[in-house]
Amino acid sequence: AAAMMGTQAPWLAFTGRHDDIDARSTLLFVHAPENEEAIHASHWFVRSEPTPTVAFSWAFFEEFALPPGESFAYRYRVVVADGAWDGDRVESYLKTHGW
Query: Is 66 within a domain?
Result: no
List average pLDDT for each run of 10 residues in the chain, which is 99 residues long. 74 85 89 80 81 81 84 89 95 93
What pLDDT is recorded for position 40?
67
Query: Does any domain span residue 6?
Result: no
- Whole-prediction pTM: 0.80
Q: Is 16 within a domain?
A: yes
Question: DSSP labels for 38-69?
Answer: SSS--EEEEE-SSS-EEEEETTSSS-----TT
Task: Check residue 1 and give its pLDDT.
Answer: 62
Give the SS3 label for residue 99. Answer: coil
Q: By residue range, what is the domain housing residue 86?
A: 11-61+72-96
What is the predicted pLDDT for the residue at 27? 93
Asked if residue 67 belongs to a domain, the reply is: no
Residue 2 lies in a domain: no
Evaluate whether residue 1 is within a structural domain.
no
Domains in the chain: how many in total? Answer: 1
Rounded alpha-carbon distances, angstroms, from residue 73 to 30, 32, 51, 56 = 15, 11, 28, 12
5, 46 in Cβ contact below 8 A?
Answer: yes
Residue 26 lies in a domain: yes
CA distance 77 to 68: 29
